Amino acid sequence: MDCTESECSQRQDLERILIGRDEIARRVNELGRQITADYAGRELVIICILKGGLPFAADLMRKIDLPLQLEVVGASAYKGATTTTARLRITKDVDHDMAGRHVLLIEDIYDTGNTLHAVHELLDLHKPASLEICALLRKDKPRPTDLPIRYVGFDIEDVFVVGYGLDYKERYRNLPCVGVLKSEIYKE
Q: In whole angstroms, what is the distance from residue 64 CA to residue 66 CA?
A: 6
Residue choice 44, 47, 52, 72 for contact with ligand IMP (CB under 6 A): 52
Instruction: Outline where DSSP puts E strands in 117-159.
Output: 130-139, 151-156
Q: In whole angstroms, what is the distance from residue 11 CA to residue 175 CA?
A: 8
Does position 151 interact with ligand IMP (CB under 6 A)? The reply is no
CB of 173 to ligand IMP, least distance (A): 9
Q: In whole angstroms, what is the distance from residue 47 CA to residue 132 CA?
A: 10
Does position 163 interact with ligand IMP (CB under 6 A)? The reply is no
* CA distances from residue 43 to 65, 135, 150 in whole angstroms, order as listed: 10, 20, 18
Q: Using CB atoms, what's the residue nearest to Mg ion?
A: 78
Q: In whole angstroms, what is the distance from residue 88 CA to residue 114 CA?
A: 7
93 is catalytic: no
In the complex, the residues that contact Mg ion under the rule CB under 5 A are 78, 167
Does position 110 interact with ligand IMP (CB under 6 A)? The reply is yes
CB of 14 to Mg ion, least distance (A): 17
Closest CA to 25 of 56, 70, 66, 64: 56
Nearer to ligand IMP among residue 66 and residue 161 (C-beta): 161
Span interacting with ligand IMP, options 7-15, 36-44, 58-66, 155-163, rule CB under 6 A: 155-163
Nearer to Mg ion among residue 23 and residue 167 (C-beta): 167
Does position 84 interact with ligand IMP (CB under 6 A)? The reply is yes
Q: Side by side, which strands form the sheet with 151-156? A: 89-92, 68-76, 44-50, 102-110, 130-139, 151-156
So which residues are the catalytic ones? 111
Q: Which residues bind ligand IMP (CB under 6 A)?
A: 52, 77-78, 84, 107-115, 160-162, 166-167
